[in-house]
Structure 1
Amino acid sequence: MTQKIWHSLPEYQALRAVMESGTTAKAAIRLGLSQSAVSRSITSLESRTGRILFERDGGRLVPTDEAAQLNRRLDSLFDALIAIDGPTTPARETLRLTAPPTYAHRFLVAHITSFLKANPHYFISMEVSPSDEVIRGILEGRFDLGVSGVELSRDGVRLTPYRRASAVCVMPTDHPLAGKATIRPQDLHGEPLITLTHRHARRAQLDQVFLAARSQPRLVAEVSTSCAAVDLARAGLGLAVVNPFPVYHYRSNDVVFRAFDCDLTYRSYFVTHDNRPLPAIARAFMRHLRLHTPNDPFSQKA
């Protein structure tokens, strides 16, 4: 006989309240219950699910990974309850968004525009930050959602894969190598090259690619963003090896992108806090990006 599965809304409400407030006392005030009632709900939920959801640390309840995972799965339930019990006119929700310059200026601006036109009751506040500041801002709770192409793993931060891409070589349309479908590292021996600065991990990886191929390009400039590297290539300063996403979508007619024969793989991520509920507007914007990101020859859905 199949065991009947039952659910308790008060238990789920207690879980979310404690996750957001950090103590049963604050959760009790938020829910209008006694502290003991909140504690009983948490204990009952742990007993029913067979999971340890919180660990005590200096008077605070620290959520376990199991609690964070369960809390994320409850997002759709609470969204549905808000839709049922909430006002008929949607409240003006705000998405606090952060991203590095290339993503912000060359990609997100257009998608923010289409998203807000389709959802006029939403509001977006975007801050342009270096990738490490994107991670720090999410971790400190200053932002709801980040977009980044750097794999900076931190406790408390969740990286959700969004796009995957292979390296490309960018050059003016009239460059002698533009006629090749794929550029090899050996093809760039002696060629003027524009690279990212050494603070980028990809710079060291690209240097290793050229070293292994015994190829020595002539370095002419270092820049902090892929966008700047492509602009310098467009101006005829040299070639650049970059992550094609998202700069490929905003290329001009006077540069070409060619596959670069190496093992460099680039990933773009949605950055969220691992232990805080993701606002409905953040999930909506993530869906919007996934649905409306155009296809290109060099990147795919992750």
Structure 2
Amino acid sequence: MGTRSWHSLPEYQALRALMESGTTSKAAVRLGLSQSAISRSIASLESRTGMMLFERDGGRLKPTSEAAQLNRRLDPLFEALDRIDGPPAPAQETLRLVAPPTYAHRYLVRHVASFLHANPHYFVSLEVASSEEVIRGIQELRFDLGLTGVELSRERVKLIPFRISKAVCAMPKSHPLAQKDSIGPEDLHDQPMIALTHRHARRAQLDRVFTNSRSTPRIVAEASTSFAAVDLAKEGLGLTVVNPFPVVQYRSDDLIFRIFTPTIEYRSYFATQETQHSPAIARAFMRHLRLHTLKTPFTSLADHSN
């Protein structure tokens, strides 16, 4: 009696996603799975069919002719599934995302775009709000996922570590202090400086550093976001001390960033609902940010258990 053949839809989905995206990381984001789950599905499919489906070509996986033939034979199956499911409802796979201006306007906009290009069946609703409103919105179930740089403890809200950063001093490339490897508070005595506004959580901490060092910068302007502060520095108004994430990723060609000592540490968090399981699209977007956020000398990926 011959061995009965069987079929695995997840394996076929992994094959299709990998052929269209070219890498296990992109296929994983597309399906909301881990890279290891994609690799296991492909290995199982190869073992079951007795065919080699992919060959490594540099950093990408190149499908073999057998993979292309199998993928073509799967077209009727996926077309039938599409007819059964009907047209997807836009709200069915919607990510309700919220973040403060520093994260939202440049950093998240770019990554939302790349996420949706890789996952055209998803829909993202992005709202810009204060850090307090980010946490309140998650707590009240108005959003699925938030990004915040303020550790606000609230009932029913879970903060998942994302990035760790160390304060930097930003200045024009022509500034005399740009020749130094690091900048201390004594270097900024009587220097024109753009400060964060007093309502910003880190302003008081930085003021104490200057007071303890008996250093008095000359505050010439204030800004409520790090992007505004470094843009004012770019215009030649003075220096500024800020959290380098994510601003350094977008201003490294215009300004010089030097580590500020003593160390002031910043943490960025994903905010999710503690009492409810995060939807697959939220988990997929968190993975997307962890995979595709540019590396810099001033920030690193935080340990996480999610």
Letter aligned with residue 294 of structure 2? P
Once the two structures are superposed, the pairs formed by residues 1-302 of structure 1 within 5 Å of their partners are 88-89=81-82, 91=88, 92=90, 93-302=93-302
Distance 1:143-1:210 versus aligned 2 partners, 3 A rule: same
Q: Distance in 2 between matches of 1:111 and 1:201?
A: 26
Q: Distance in 1 between matches of 2:217 and 2:211?
A: 10
Local SS of the residue matching 1:201? coil
Q: Distance in 2 between matches of 1:280 and 1:274?
A: 15
Local SS of the residue matching 2:174? coil
Q: Deviations over 1:172-209 (max 9, x none)?
A: 01001001010011000000111111111200000011
Deviation at 1:94, TM superposition (A): 0.3
Deviation at 1:217, TM superposition (A): 0.4
Q: Distance in 2 between matches of 1:124 and 1:295?
A: 25
Deviation at 1:252, TM superposition (A): 5.0
Letter aligned with residue 194 of structure 2? I
Q: Deviations over 1:246-299 (max 9, x none)?
A: 001111523110000123100000011111221110000000000111110000
Q: Deviations over 1:94-139 (max 9, x none)?
A: 0000001110112011111110011000000000111111111111
Query: For structure 1, which runs of at least 5 residues remain unmatched after alignment?
Result: 1-74, 81-86
**Percent of pairs identical after alignment?**
64
Query: For structure 2, which runs of at least 5 residues remain unmatched after alignment?
Result: 1-31, 38-79
Distance 1:175-1:276 versus aligned 2 partners, 3 A rule: same
Q: Deviations over 1:55-88 (max 9, x none)?
A: xxxxxxxxxxxxxxxxxxxx99xxx9xxxxxx94
Local SS of the residue matching 2:133? helix
Deviation at 1:213, TM superposition (A): 1.0
Q: Distance in 1 between matches of 2:136 and 2:94?
A: 20
Aligned length: 219
Q: Distance in 2 between matches of 1:253 and 1:162?
A: 25
Q: Distance in 1 between matches of 2:111 and 2:263?
A: 30
Q: Distance in 2 between matches of 1:123 and 1:286?
A: 15
Local SS of the residue matching 1:134? helix
Local SS of the residue matching 1:120? coil
Deviation at 1:153, TM superposition (A): 1.1
User: Would you identify which runs of 4 or more consecutive aligned residues in structure 1 move more than 2 Å?
Assistant: 87-92
Local SS of the residue matching 2:154? coil
